[in-house]
Amino acid sequence: MSHSREEVEAAVLAYIATRDRIDAGEGTWADLAVHFTDDAVFIDPAWGRCEGLEEMRRTVFGAAMDGLEGWTFPTDFFVIDGDTVVVKWRQVIPGTDGRSHEQSGISTLLYAGDGRFRYEEDLLNMAHVMEGIVASGYQPPEGKAWPVPPAEIDRDFSVPGSA
């Protein structure tokens, strides 16, 4: 079932507004949880497949972002096709020399209704991320460590309920 464009767009704008607040230092990545269903699936390029909102809070909205304070992820644009949304964004790493180091990324989201998404797949070039980290000289704040994905990662990016 496809929802109205207006409903999907309202959900996307709310999701982006939350990301913008996080970038501004007003909240944490866990605040994004309100935009997802309890059984949502999130595919992260480094952490792999996370199933369910609780796992998402622990991993992609928690451990994966801990130590990356000061990084921002501004949105460039989004497109909507039925219940499918693609958001184009940048990952901006603050440099020790005062310059920013940027990578390009996209997120594909599937709208579930009631203002929430049931799936997100993030794509970005991890080689570019690593190059940006080295070039920036970025180090996690004192008392924090680099987030380290698990050794075994589930790379299944399939959408639940699709054939």
pLDDT tens digits, residue range 93-139? 999 989 999 999 999 999 999 999 999 999 999 999 999 999 999 99
Q: Which class for 142: exposed (0-12), middle (13-18), buried (19 or more C-beta within 10 A)?
A: exposed
Q: What does pTM read for this prediction?
A: 0.94
Instruction: Give CA torsion, residues 37, 29, 92, 24, to 10 deg.
Output: 120
* Structural domains of the chain in order of their starting residue, each with its CATH number: 5-136 (3.10.450.50)
pLDDT tens digits, residue range 18-69? 999 999 999 999 999 999 999 999 999 999 999 999 999 999 999 999 999 9
